[in-house]
Structure 1
Amino acid sequence: MSAHGPALRQYTIAREATLLPIPDDLPFDQAAIIPAAVSTPYAAIVGTGAVRPAQAVGIWGAGGLGAHAVRLARMVGAAPVIAVDPLPSARERALVFGAVFALDPLAPDFAEAVREATAGRGLDVAFDFAGVGAARAQAASVLGPFGSLVLAGLTPEPVTIADSIGFCFNINQVRGHYGSEPEHVEQLVGLASAGRIDLAPSITAHVPLAEAAEAVARLENKVGDPIRLVLTP
């Protein structure tokens, strides 16, 4: 969020083509977090990752994007959903949000834990929402045959494939991902309105617009481990 961006203004002008009606049964604050926070992981899961029911999915980073990815992966039928995060609080939240397993990437038995969780086959799709080179390398190392690594977190760090022969033998893939399309937002509005996904737990707090700078600092520094803060006029 930029200090001069429309998200930090009480009023702004938008083109009609960029707007979407909000159903009466969908609270405005929940609708407000759909673009980016929810639509990016949704597009990564149903689009770039093309996750299908019963596929084993790993999600690196259970923060603002990854926490929603856990819920969305579960919603589309992924099984098991494995969250990976070094923060105990983030792992606990991922379990509440529907992850079957929540693993510490620094644990010495991490790879074995993934094998056990997936009955030895490895991950069908791994998502990097952390934007960390080490997370990407670790995710690639536990892919199963025909498995894909989706780069949803942004970082200038290079992608490293430690075992390129094994990667090729298993016909693995690395797929880039960025943002979402208008239809993803529209679909999510419909899903949230229909009760298929409840976004209320994603709103950590409502913050007055005058305290926007403090809210941004809370997000950047993970004060209180927030998912999303909604600014109110």
Structure 2
Amino acid sequence: MTMLAGRLNAEAGTFEMKQVPVPEPGPGEVRIRVRAAGVCLSDVHLIDGSLKPAFPSGEEVTLGHEVAGEIDVVGPDVPDTWQPGARVTLAAGERCGVCPQCTRFREPCLAVRTRGVDYDGGWAEYATATHHTLVAIPDSLPFEQAAIVPDAVSTPWGAVAGTGRAEPGRPAGVWGVGGLGAHAVQLLRLLGAAPIVAVDPLESARGRALEFGADFAFDPADPEFGDKVLAATGGNGLDVAYDMAGVAAVRGQALKTLARKGRLVLVGLTPEPLAVKNSIALSVRGLQVLGHYGSASGDVERLIDLTRHGRLDLSRSISGTMPLAEAPAAVRALTDKTGDPIRLILVP
């Protein structure tokens, strides 16, 4: 049996929709019938070559690290709690199992493998997953929304609640209100950060930021930008700023808006160099630049619970659905920002 899958050859720089064998689950694995798979800017960067797999498992890989569906087949050595028909979303990666942390059963893994990057993901009709990467989802949560939790929602959650240490009643800024940034705004609002300043060159994205809970939304090209941020924060500056765009110019601008002891968190991925023009000011004011990737163990489950209890609404996050066969068109739409999407979803 064969199935349709979106296959990337990172070395050759090619992406094609191909017929490939339907995978069989090995020990400790299940096979998922994919119902929804998100299209992320990281997928775009993998296709254009600006990102490369850190731990490639073969010449080609099926893209897609945001995946939800139903268990189709259960392999050997899988706990009885997982049965065919169960509705699940898949963690966006898993432990390597061989680094010193893994062999000593410690956190964190030093070489996390990412689904749809280092091993086959969910831009396909079926996907395999180890049972410990499965997260049950309630019937009330549509597959399209569940699929994006393991990255588009959990990555900003990890940055906001973890790395950036956002606090209730303290000012925070978000640069780039796309797939990650829109959820960062929503999650900052949930945590009680105030005021929330959103920054994006697109008017539509600024409007979306206000809808998602930002108190202010500014154009980074506004000549009065710095003064407006200071006014919004009572003249103090931001406690924490999040670069969700992965743009070098964003980082320099964000650093200038930070209060003393402020933190800049780099979430958006880019191969561009990180440059700090005035490192004296960074030292004197005690500023920090922090890298962030992914989320912590248990974050996806926590976010699913927040949706279950009505605290987190992801219905506005799905900008559109497209058939799996039209994955190349979805990639172009995200690249060109056609319709300014938050998340486009592929449906096999």
Bucket of the pairwise TM-score, normalised by the shorter protein: over 0.9
SS of the residue corresponding to residue 122 of structure 2 reads helix
The more displaced of 214-223 and 154-163 is: 154-163
Which of 84, 101, 104 is residue 199 of structure 2 equivalent to? 84
Query: Shift of the alpha carbon at 1:169?
Result: 2.1
Q: State yes or no: 1:206 paired with 2:264.
A: no
What are the residue-to-residue correspondences of 1:32-47 with 2, within 5 Å? Answer: 32-47=147-162
Q: Percent identity?
A: 54
In the alignment, is the contact (CA less than 8 A) between 1:61 and 1:84 conserved in 2? Answer: yes
Q: Partner residue of 1:93?
A: 208
Q: CA deviation at 1:166?
A: 2.5
The aligned length equals 233
Higher fraction of strand: 2
Of stretches 99-108 and 174-183 in structure 1, the one that deviates more from structure 2 is 174-183
Structure 1 range deviating more: 17-26 or 44-53: 17-26
Q: Secondary structure at the match of 2:204?
A: helix
Higher mean displacement: 23-32 or 187-196: 23-32
Residue 55 of structure 1 aligns to a residue whose secondary structure is coil
1:130-141 equivalent positions in 2, closer than 5 A: 130-141=245-256
What does the per-residue CA deviation read over 1:97-136, in whole Å, with 9 as the maximum and x for residues that have no partner? Answer: 1111001111111100000000000000000011111100
The residue correspondences of 1:180-199 to structure 2 (distance < 5 A) are 180-199=295-314
For residues 4 and 176 of structure 1, the distance between their equivalents in structure 2, rounded to whole angstroms, comes to: 27
In 2, the alpha carbon distance for the partners of 1:219 and 1:7 equals 18
For residue 14 of structure 1, give the secondary structure of its aligned residue in structure 2. strand
Q: Per the alignment, in what secondary structure is the counterpart of residue 7 of structure 1?
A: coil
Moved more, 179-188 or 90-99: 179-188
With structure 1 as the length reference, what TM-score do the two structures score?
Answer: 0.96
Q: Is 1:4 matched up with 2:119?
A: no
TM-superposed CA distance for 1:24, in Å, is 2.1
Deviation at 1:157, TM superposition (A): 2.3
Q: Which of the pair has more CA radius of gyration?
A: 2
CA offset digits 1:76-98 (Å, max 9, x no partner)? 01001000011111111111111
* Letter matched to residue 138 of structure 1: Q
Q: Judge which range, 19-28 or 52-61, deviates more.
A: 19-28
Shift of 1:159: 2.5
SS state at 2:213 partner: coil
SS of corresponding position for 1:154: coil
Moved more, 155-164 or 198-207: 155-164
2: CA distance, partners of 1:36 / 1:220: 18
TM-score if structure 2 supplies the norm length? 0.65
Structure scoring higher RCO (CA < 8 A, sep ≥ 6) equals 1
Residue 103 (str. 1) matches residue 218 (str. 2): yes
Which consecutive unaligned segments of at least 5 residues does structure 1 have? Answer: none
Moved more, 210-219 or 88-97: 210-219
Instruction: Confirm or deny: 8 A CA contact 1:125 1:143 kept in the other structure.
Output: yes
- Cα RMSD over matched residues? 1.3
Matched, 1:126 2:241: yes
Q: 1:30 aligns with which of 145, 153, 169?
A: 145
| Alignment-mate amino acid for residue 175 of structure 1 | L
Say if 1:141 and 1:162, in contact at 8 Å, map to a contact too.
Answer: no
Residues 15, 35 of structure 1: alpha-carbon distance in 2 compared, 3 angstrom cutoff:
same
SS of structure 2 residue aligned to 1:149: strand
Give the CA deviation at 1:184. 1.2
Could you tell me which residue of structure 1 aligns to residue 261 of structure 2? 146
CA distance in 1, matches of 2:127, 2:229: 47
1:176 counterpart residue number: 291
Query: Which of 270, 276, 281 in structure 2 is aligned with 1:155?
Result: 270
Q: CA deviation at 1:187?
A: 1.0
User: Could you list the per-position Cα deviations for residues 146-175 of structure 1 after superposition, in whole angstroms to 9, with x for gaps in the alignment?
Assistant: 110001111222323333232222211111
Structure 1 stretches of 4+ with a deviation exceeding 3 A read none
1:4 maps to a residue whose letter is T
Q: Contact conserved, 1:146 with 1:172, CA < 8 A, in 2?
A: yes
Matched, 1:230 2:345: yes
Matched AA of 2:230: R
